[in-house]
Amino acid sequence: MRLFLRSWRFAGLLPGLLAGTMASLPAPGPLHAQAVQAGQDGELPPALAPLPGAAFPGAYPGPSPWAFPVNPELAPRPEVRAVRTADPIVIDGHMDEAAWASALPVGHFVQGVPDMGMPATQPTVVRILYDDTHLYLGIVNYDAEMDRLMIAGLEHDFNPGSGDLFAVSIDPFLDRRNSFLFFVNPGGALRDEQTFNDSRNVSVAWEGPIRAEVALTDSAWVVEMAIPFSTLRFDPNRPIQDWGINFLRRVRRSNESSYWSPLSRREVIHRMSRAGTLTGLEGIQAGRNLTVKPFTLAADSRGHAVPDDVAGSRYDAGVDLKYGITPGLTMDLTYRTDFAQAELDQEQVNLTRFSLFFPERREFFIENSGVFQFGDQNERNYRMGASLRDFTLFHSRRIGLTPGGQPIPIVGGGRVTGRAGNFEVGVLNMQTESLNGLPAENFSVARVRRNLFGNSDVGVLVVNRQGTGSGTGSGTGTRTGTGTGSVGNGSYNRSWGADANLRLLGNLVVTTYLAGTDGSEAGSSGIAWRTGAAWRDRFWNTSAFIRRVDEDFDPGVGFVRRRDALHRYATVGVHHQPEGSWLQELAPYLEVDYISNLGGLLETRIVSGGLDLSVRSGESVTLTVNDRFERLGDPFAIASGVVLQPGDYDFRDAVVAVQSSSSRSLTGRVQVGYGEFWSGTRTSLSTRASWRPRYDLFTEISVERNQVDLPEGDFAADVARAAVRYAWSTRLSGSAFLQYNRQTDQWVTNARWNFRHAPMSDVFLIFTQRHRTGIDGPQERSVALKVTRLVGF
């Protein structure tokens, strides 16, 4: 009970954090009224206005080309022709230039959710213009209830699932695999992404210097967008360009997502194999494709855990350079690389025998990361049984970070990524400095992938980690994030792999890989392989795989969760989607994991049955029942002072989770679990609540509680987090969060302010503190001011 009260006291800190912020805000009011007061027009230009009468009778351009309901899997892919303009387009959201009236309007979006195949309830009309240097989009998002628009925030890279938005995905090579993706919400905030392999991989860190402005009227929110051709990689040798393209309109209050080129419920806008086509682009210029982004940094770091090499005040400067070598290949160079503005890791609870996976959060490494992915890759909306959190041959967090997450200075490096004919290629090289006894190291990665049959591929990946200086500490041969032994100049760890990802018969996915490692340290040479297949259609969802990992398989720049293992997995489930019902989907499933060591001895067996239920209004319920067997060959310290002895353990538990709809300003999720756990019992409670009282303010509280009662000893493992974000405008925003992890007894505080003074150019002010209970003084206390400026040529 004391621990629950402690978590409640932690949650009680949030109102205090908000009080100071809310005191300085103007009183909340209707979004539409605020926009008009800001000086935006209340009427559409005459050429774009709907006819009077019923709701939007003149909004759509001509009769619908669809016979409803539309089957997204069989529907033809639509086309739209861009119109060249010689007149300048002012990006202000008004669409009052005469050129817009000459553009060909397209609309008649089709719902993917909730009523798949039916017409969108709120019309959307898109017009496309272009000149020598830019692609222009003018979008009229009609809405019968403008006062009910939901804005997910004003900050750049807002959460696209939490509000109304318009999005466009563009495939300039028309390869039906890769895309540039741009979102804009009614508040004028932007989000940009790059996607790979027909929706399999998404790079959220990619940014393009585009412009977009929004104006609110009495009947619509209007977007004008200018996308420089220099931002989009395409082949300028083709006199006439045809590109893949699709549009998304999301109406959050009704949980509706509709598309110009129809998609099913389980598909998303960057599924480019189902996109439409943009035609008519002639005489466009790719530009010089050269940008330089210098930065300056002033920082001060102190605390018990801060290495002497970086403690105290420091001043630094560096530069990033991006150059389009060819229409398909991009080179990125970086010198004195710094990641002061990167988000901190979220605290996690670990009650397993294996290491936790922490995702990459540094912008340079996230951008184009899909090119280098190799391992247990997931396929969207397929139940695959494993993910990159289980095995990835290349994990960029192994570069420039200690196993505990402490930054290691990076001298610099370079990367070349892109396409050459039917090949997708990526080459990366980075050099780190020595730090606190850790040696300087060089990291090299090369990836080649050959596209087959449209959406399939085969490829190879090689990785080299080489010591370039003397030192002691984490070695180049590292075991799942923790290395030992002394290393010096000439030590190495090398990895290689070959993989195939095949999409066949529309719904069949076949995945396989073979990988090996070799190193200068003993016990670092081994093999891993996997082969599996999965089938997903409207009703069935089934997959199976077999995977083997040698005991000495040691990817020095990768992550592998479990070694000395032969893993067999199978699952079967169905997705019942009744038409015209309050029930959106009912999806029962069964899955089995059977893991033995390479000597054939069973170590883990998990049989799980589950039921996922979702309703039209956006709520969902998940029920899972697990039957588990674990064999311990060695003592397992599950908590401080609590050690499980070798032996066989059978235990069962059940978990139920309830998720509220994202269409409300107050949303939440509650998960409760209870059952046997090793030799005793475990009670778990996980809650998360987020509240957006205004379009510019977001707050969130989450608490994870685990009470474990064992004959060997009782303990609790808890994590709590509170966060607040506020955006003064689309250019100025701030955030703060507080975390507590009971397992490590650590408090983490972070606050960040970001001012975007020019496209892709920022000023960051960051404060971070880590503190352990019972220890005088912080483990780390740092403050940093960083200024960047993008210059294009």
pLDDT mean across residues, the chain: 87
C-alpha angle 52-53-54 in degrees, rounded to nearest 5: 125
Q: Contact 577/69 with Cβ under 8 angstroms?
A: no
**HEC assignment per residue over 266-317:** CCCCCCHHHCEEEEEEECCCCCCCEEEEEEEEEEEEECCCCCCCCCEEEEEE
Summarize the confidence of residues 69-79 as an average pLDDT.
93
CA 291, CA 325: separation in Å to the nearest integer?
12
Which pairs with CB-CB distance under 8 Å and at least 24 residues apart come from 200-204? 200/370, 200/377, 200/378, 200/379, 200/380, 200/501, 201/369, 201/370, 201/373, 201/377, 202/270, 202/370, 203/366, 203/367, 203/368, 203/369, 203/370, 204/157, 204/366
Inter-CA distances, 132 with 87, 128, 228, 241, Å: 11, 14, 9, 13
* Cα angle, residue 155 at apex, residues 763 and 181 outer, rounded to 5°: 105
Check pLDDT > 50 for residue 106.
yes
Place 225 in a pLDDT band, splitting at 50, 70 and 90: very high
The pLDDT of residue 632 is above 90: yes
Average pLDDT score over residue span 302-315? 85
Q: Lowest mean pLDDT: which of 201-210, 513-522, 632-641, 715-724?
A: 201-210
Take residue 125 and report the two structure tokens written for it.
Answer: 């009309």
pLDDT band (50, 70, 90) for residue 25? very low
- Percentage of the chain lying above the pLDDT 70 cut: 90
Lowest mean pLDDT of 130-139, 252-261, 473-482, 616-625, name the range: 473-482
- Contact of 526 with 510, CB cutoff 8 Å: no
Give per-residue pLDDT as tens, 646-663: 999 999 999 999 999 988
How far, in Å, CA of 454 to CA of 175, rounded? 8
Burial status of residue 126 (CB atoms within 10 A of its CB: 0-12, 13-18, 19 or more): buried
Which DSSP helix (H) or strand (E) runs through 518? strand 508-519
pLDDT-derived band at 472 (thresholds 50, 70, 90) equals: low
CB 600 within 8 A of CB 568: no
**Buried residues in 229-268 as b, exposed as e (16+ CB within 10 A):** bbbbbbeeeeeebebbbbbbbbbbbbbbbbbbbbbbbbbb
Query: What pLDDT score does 44 carry?
Result: 62
Q: How many CB atoms lie within 10 A of CB 3?
A: 14
How many whole angstroms separate alpha carbon 354 and alpha carbon 346? 18
Chain segment 326-373, per-residue pLDDT in tens: 888 889 999 998 888 888 888 888 999 998 898 888 888 888 888 899
Residue type, 362: R
Quote the pLDDT of residue 274: 93
Q: Quick one: residue 633, left, alpha or beta (phi over 0 = left, psi -120 to 50 = alpha)?
A: alpha
Interval 417-455: pLDDT, tens = 988 888 999 999 999 998 877 889 999 999 999 988 878
Residue 525 pLDDT class (50, 70, 90 cuts): very high
Q: Which residues pair with 344 in a beta bridge?
A: none
Residues comprising the chain, all counted: 793
